[in-house]
């Protein structure tokens, strides 16, 4: 459908008014075609409204052009954002604004807000989140991942089990190289829930290959319910664990969360569970938490 013309009346030129509606029609169609060809879909869709608004605001030509271009830029950015969020495969939507810092006093809000600026992603640093179940590790991973995507970085969320399963399968099928390249690609790779199940030494070695592939190239954001000094048990091999930690912690920010499960907080409040003993604190790089009790019922 050709676009209807603006409410401008055609100028009269010595009795030649009969040809003018057709001329305007052609101009509208030409413009429509050019906007399509230039892939300026938002301008094409909203042109009438944009022109009317520009006229209403009495913008000069340059201002009007900028106003119209801004609509296209906003629309393209919105599309990029929603595409990148889809590709990232976040399991749910969580934000830093939605994180209650009062509920988790072992976390330094300043440190998390600083991580929210994503300078660490720009630098290719890693972030390691340690803590028992339910304290907000996945929440923070998703929130920080979304911040990174919003700032134009590519991100991918996966669980340790999913990642290792894919690598093991790829190795069996002779496509390991391709898989490693795929996981090395996003600027930020988020690996959730390392340590829930111990890994076979072979799986640990595949994990090492991935970490060394990404080393100093792209960031890894990883969470675990096991303190790093127990990772040799997680990987089933002390040497592999040490090699992984060496690369992961080299340029890294470690956030150790101690405290109660947020999930069980309400239940505890209602008297269903007794509160856990012990306070909360945070550790810096290389900080090692005490053994984390098994939790979640």
Contact footprint for Mg ion (CB under 5 A): 137-138
Q: Contact with ligand ADP (CB under 6 A): which of 42, 137, 190, 292? A: 137
| Per-residue contact string for residues 194-233; x = within reach of ligand ADP by CB under 6 A | ----------------------------------------
252-256, strands of its sheet edge to edge: 155-159, 188-194, 219-224, 126-130, 252-256
* Nearest distance in Å: CB 294, ligand ADP: 12
Residue 93 in the binding site for ligand ADP (CB under 6 A): no
User: Which residues, numbered 226-285, are part of the site for ligand ADP (CB under 6 A)?
Assistant: 262-263
Residue 134 in the binding site for ligand ADP (CB under 6 A): yes
Q: Contact with ligand ADP (CB under 6 A): which of 94, 146, 187, 226? A: 94
Name which of 209 and 224 has its Cβ closer to ligand ADP: 224
* Nearest distance in Å: CB 180, Mg ion: 25
Residue ranges that bind ligand ADP, judged by CB under 6 A: 94, 98-100, 103-104, 131, 133-139, 262-263
């Amino acid at each position: 459908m050709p676009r209807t013309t603006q409410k401008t009346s055609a100028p009269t030129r010595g009795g030649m008014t009969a040809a003018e509606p057709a001329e305007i029609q052609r101009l509208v169609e030409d413009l429509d075609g050019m906007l399509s060809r230039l892939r300026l879909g938002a301008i094409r869709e909203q042109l009438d409204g944009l022109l009317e608004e520009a006229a209403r605001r009495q913008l000069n030509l340059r201002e009007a052009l900028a106003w119209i271009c801004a609509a296209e830029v906003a629309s393209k950015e919105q599309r990029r954002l929603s595409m990148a969020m889809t590709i990232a495969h976040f399991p749910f939507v969580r934000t830093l604004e939605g994180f209650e810092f009062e509920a988790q006093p072992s976390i330094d809000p300043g440190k998390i807000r600083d991580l929210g600026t994503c300078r660490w992603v720009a630098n290719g640093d890693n972030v390691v989140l340690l803590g028992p179940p339910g304290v907000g590790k996945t929440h923070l991973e998703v929130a920080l991942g979304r911040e990174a995507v919003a700032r134009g970085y590519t991100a991918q969320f996966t669980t340790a089990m999913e990642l290792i399963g894919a690598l093991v399968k790829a190795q069996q099928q002779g496509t390991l190289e391709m898989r490693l390249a795929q996981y090395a690609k996003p600027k930020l790779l988020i690996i959730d829930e390392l340590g829930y199940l111990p890994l076979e030494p072979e799986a640990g070695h595949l994990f090492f290959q991935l970490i060394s592939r990404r080393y100093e190239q792209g960031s890894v954001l990883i969470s675990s319910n096991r303190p790093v000094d127990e990772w040799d048990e997680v990987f089933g091999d002390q040497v592999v664990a040490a090699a992984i930690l060496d690369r992961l912690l080299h340029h890294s920010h470690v956030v150790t969360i101690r405290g109660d499960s947020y999930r069980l907080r309400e239940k505890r409040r209602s008297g269903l569970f007794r509160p856990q003993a012990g306070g909360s604190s945070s550790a810096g790089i290389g900080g090692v938490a005490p053994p984390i009790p098994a939790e979640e019922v």
